[in-house]
Structure 1
């Protein structure tokens, strides 16, 4: 739980009592590389916290997978459409490495928000953080060159190329693998 608790306290420090309430309903699970955590078009009542491993979210468009986010240690993993609106998610979330996660029931978390102001504030901070990440991704896609997007991704996740297939990274950046290879080559020689 070290990675998860570290991320939680970094976002909004909680008292030991609030941490105890938060952890009370969690179930530890292990998933193998290639497992599907959420399927596009389904409603999920679960939220996951990634202790060890990596995931990606993607959507099918015209028989092509479009990757639009990655998750790593300490991060919360969910389909936002299910979490916020209790509607089917538009993404599939795949496990990229053998991973250890903690599962929590969505309703339990919502009850915690009602009962405990610390956890409600943590939830608000988490939502704000997700909003800022989404805005950053949007601005990056709109205003950065392919090279700048790749450099920003490496700044955010320095070891991503060791952990994630280059095809998924290219998809995330909105470029093809040939362009990504060229950018990587240029960076090595500059």
Structure 2
């Protein structure tokens, strides 16, 4: 997936504005298991996934709780660091070797201050991420485990072949044994 397609998927941009945004990103290749963001650290980077899968998790009582998966085209950011320049509440790990588009929050903010169209693009990005977070939250609170699993398959059909079942069970808020039963 190329960067201009990803950027315009967030919010349509003129050729010039898209080019301006593309110029602050660089392509990076990272290996499976790389940690992009660490819980309790203020993060300064922003990514889009060109190729690969990532997960966000937090640690509670010694257990990792997965609450987000990202795949091709998705942004990777700590919303707390991105908006408030404060410590991240999540750790973000690559689950596959990945190719990412990387920039800094500072470079994005500089463009937001000088270009209203890119500023609106950034607002739409934040709005889209908020909506996705609300949808995950509501699904977790209202749906039973089978419905959450069906929703995951509908939203991310290739995920089951690319992600460890333990991470999927954690994301769904169930045990691996329960996940096995649902999958049958």
Query: TM-score higher than 0.5 here?
Result: yes
Q: Give 1:124's aligned residue.
A: 123
- Does structure 1 retain, via aligned residues, the 8 Å contact 2:4–2:22? no
Q: How far 1:119 sits from its partner (Å)?
A: 0.9
Q: Give 1:175's aligned residue.
A: 174
Q: Report the Cα distance in structure 2 between the residues aligned to 1:10 and 1:28, rounded to whole angstroms.
A: 18
1:84 aligns with 2:83: yes
Q: Report the Cα distance in structure 2 between the residues aligned to 1:19 and 1:5, rounded to whole angstroms.
A: 6
Q: How far 1:7 sits from its partner (Å)?
A: 2.8
Q: Give 1:152's aligned residue.
A: 151
Q: Report the Cα distance in structure 2 between the residues aligned to 1:6 and 1:26, rounded to whole angstroms.
A: 14
Q: How far 1:52 sits from its partner (Å)?
A: 0.5
Deviation track 1:19-72 (CA, whole Å, cap 9, x = no partner) reads: 111011212111111111111111111111111001000011111000010111
Q: Report the Cα distance in structure 2 between the residues aligned to 1:121 and 1:68, rounded to whole angstroms.
A: 27
Q: Indicate the SS of the match to 1:13.
A: coil
- Does structure 2 retain, via aligned residues, the 8 Å contact 1:32–1:95? yes
- Does structure 1 retain, via aligned residues, the 8 Å contact 2:7–2:18? no
Deviation track 1:71-113 (CA, whole Å, cap 9, x = no partner) reads: 1111110111111111111111000000000110111101111
Q: Report the Cα distance in structure 2 between the residues aligned to 1:105 and 1:140, rounded to whole angstroms.
A: 32
- Does structure 2 retain, via aligned residues, the 8 Å contact 1:38–1:44? yes
How much is the aligned-residue C-alpha RMSD, in angstroms?
1.0
Q: TM-score, normalised by structure 2?
A: 0.97
Q: Report the Cα distance in structure 1 between the residues aligned to 2:127 and 2:57, rounded to whole angstroms.
A: 22
Structure 1: runs of 5+ lacking an equivalent: 186-190
Mapping 1:1-190, distance limit 5 Å: 2=2, 4-185=3-184
Q: How many equivalent pairs are there?
A: 184
Q: Report the Cα distance in structure 2 between the residues aligned to 1:100 and 1:5, rounded to whole angstroms.
A: 15
Q: Report the Cα distance in structure 2 between the residues aligned to 1:24 and 1:170, rounded to whole angstroms.
A: 39
Structure 2: runs of 5+ lacking an equivalent: none
Q: TM-score, normalised by structure 1?
A: 0.94
- Does structure 2 retain, via aligned residues, the 8 Å contact 1:5–1:74? no
Q: Give 1:188's aligned residue.
A: none
